[in-house]
Structure formats: structure tokens, C-alpha cells
Amino acid sequence: MMPNPPSRRPAWEDSPFMKAARREPADRVPVWLMRQAGRYMAEYRAVREKTSFLELCKNPELSAEVMLTAVEKLGVDAAILFADLLPILEPMGLDLEFTANEGPVIHNPIRQAKDVDRVRELTGLERLDFVLQAVRQTREGLDECLPLIGFAGAPFTLASYAVEGGSSRTYRHVKVLMYTDPPAWHSLMERLARAVSIYLNGQIAAGAQVVQLFDSWVGCLGPDDYRRYVLPHTRAVIESIAPAAPVIHFATGNPALVPLINEAGGAVIGVDWRVRLDDAWRTIGYGKAIQGNLDPVVLLASHSEIRRRVREILDQVAGRPGYIFNLGHGILPQTPVENVIALVDAVHEMGERA
């Protein structure tokens, strides 16, 4: 009997992005950008003229198309699933709508313990199969050298939308529930953590090589509240993820949380522009990879200013392995496409290693 031939190592495993996530030396600094497929691109706007945002998210073919178009146009080193943070809430009993002027709206928000009781456990991904199909179709259309990033909202950010009923400046309802009924709060967070774990592991099984956990709203908290009300639930998600897929843990808004974000876990810690990258890396320790952290508004400036800012950040990296270039948040809709391409080119040029 002839022995089975050895299985071929996927090309993405040796990509600059995956090497950086594993803190291995690579021949260049990898770069990808949050919201790299979005309203700043004419191709995306053309798709959106024919369909609503939620319909686009639920159409795997179109979702794959807009991301693959962006990756090819920009020359980035990774693709990220085109989706939204919030559809995971629908099978859990939340009534979600994306409105033209207000953005996402939850029509039956959670405000007290009895509301938490109606949040259903996510026991399977049947109603989120469109996301898994988008992962598969994006992976199939992507160059094998490029990894695919799956993602989900972190439990706190999902809870915030569910409790506030939409966006907020004060987070009043969230904090009232946390402070006045901690058992109800922790029950909600535990339910969301279990759902996010199922969701991210489902994306990995469908073809994602990496997953990013977005805690976009957690910067409204101070360190003591983060430790008490958030950290155990985020850690539970990260510890549940399939070990083969590195987790990028990204939070924004409060640099004082960086040590606690690190404590909650993640192979890669994503930071925003409110802290210097070298300060953040010293805080988390060089035993972890880091991602960030250009202010997205810099992309509205001149190409020379973009290059200057890239140089500043790369100087802070000081050639250490384990760095992934990104923005400190998503690309703004007003951003010229040519500026984004100039950014990617600058990172590749200045971040090339002999």
C-alpha cells in the first residue's frame, strides 16, 4: 500500500500577516485596515444603490464580492469577512433594524432583569448561515497567500447595543443595569459570551484563519468597572476559541484599559491612536503581538503627511517581530481611495526588511 502523500501547508500560513500574529520574523510589515471595504469606495456605493446594508450583509455572494474587490484594489495583506457586529442578536430575540438616519436600532431593548430572561441562548448557527457562507465564498475567491479574518462584537459592545437600543453618548442604560442589578448584567454577558464563542468557532470551521473581537464601546468604562463587569466574560470567549486561530483583541477609547485588555487575552492586542504604539507594547509586553494604530483622520491629509505618520509608527515598532499595521478604528467614508492605497504602499515600502 502506498503511503499517503504529506498534506501541503496552506500558503497563508507563511504570509507576513500570520507570521506577525505568531511573532515570527517576516520580510515586511503586514497591513490591513478596518472597514477596508466600505462607503469610501465607488464599487461599494454602486452595490449599496441596489440593496440595503442589512440585505448586503445577508447576501454571501455580494459580501464576498465587496471584500474581494477591496483587497485587490488596495493590496492589503489580509481580508476580513464583510459583515456587521449585530445580526448575531437577531436569533437571540432582539428586533434589529438599520435605519437611514439613526443607524442600528434595537426595537425591544433590554433594560431590566425580566428583559434578560427573554434573551434566547444561541445553540446553533442555522439563522446565521449567511455569515458562514460569506466566509466560505470569500475564502474561495481569495488568493491562497492571504489569510481571512473572521470577527464578532465582544460581549460588552453587543450588550451595550442591546441595552441602549442603538448608539449612545452617555451609556446611561448600560451603566444603570450594571450598577443596579449585577446578577442580571452578568447573566446577559454570560449568554452573549457563549453566543460569540459559538459564532467565532463557526467562522473558523468555515474557513477563517484568524478572528478579531471588536470591543468598540468599552472605552466608556474605567478600569475598575472593566475588571468587575467585562473582563471575565471577554476572557471566557477568548479561551474558548479554537487554538489554531489567533485572536486579535481590539478595544478602543480608553488607553487606561490596555493592561486589562491584555489580561483578558488575545494573541494580538489591537490599540487605537489615543496611546503611542510603543507605550502600549511596553505595557502589554513584547511576548504578544500588537496591531494599530494610525488615526483614521490622517487619511484625509496629504500623501506626505501619511508617509510621515507611517514612519513615526514604524520607528516605534523598532523592527520587532509581531507587529500588524492598521488604523486605530475604521476608514472614514470621506477618505479618498488613493490615500488608502498610498498608505498601504508606504507601509510595504518602509516596513520591508532585508
Catalytic residue among 40, 161, 199, 323: 161
48 is catalytic: yes
Distance separating alpha carbons of residues 132 and 136, to the nearest angstrom = 6
Q: Which of 153, 28, 122, 141 is nearest to 79 (CA)?
A: 141
Residue with cell 487605537: 272
Task: Tell me if residue 327 falls in helix, strand or coil.
Answer: strand
45 is catalytic: no
161 is catalytic: yes
Q: Looking at residue 127, what DSSP letter applies?
A: G
Residue with cell 485587490: 72
Catalytic residue among 14, 22, 28, 35: 35
Q: Which of 44, 27, 28, 122 is nearest to 82 (CA)?
A: 44
309 is catalytic: no
Catalytic residue among 22, 28, 84, 345: 84
Catalytic residue among 9, 23, 40, 48: 48
Catalytic residue among 22, 28, 39, 228: 39
Please tell me the chain's helix, strand, coil percentages from 3-state DSSP, rounded to the nearest 5. 50, 10, 35
CB-based burial, 319-336: b 16+ in 10 Å, e otherwise: eebbbbbbbbbbbeeebe
Distance separating alpha carbons of residues 273 and 277, to the nearest angstrom = 8
39 is catalytic: yes
Residue 235, C-beta contacts closer than 8 angstroms, at least 6 positions apart: 263, 264, 265
What are the catalytic residues? 35, 39, 48, 84, 161
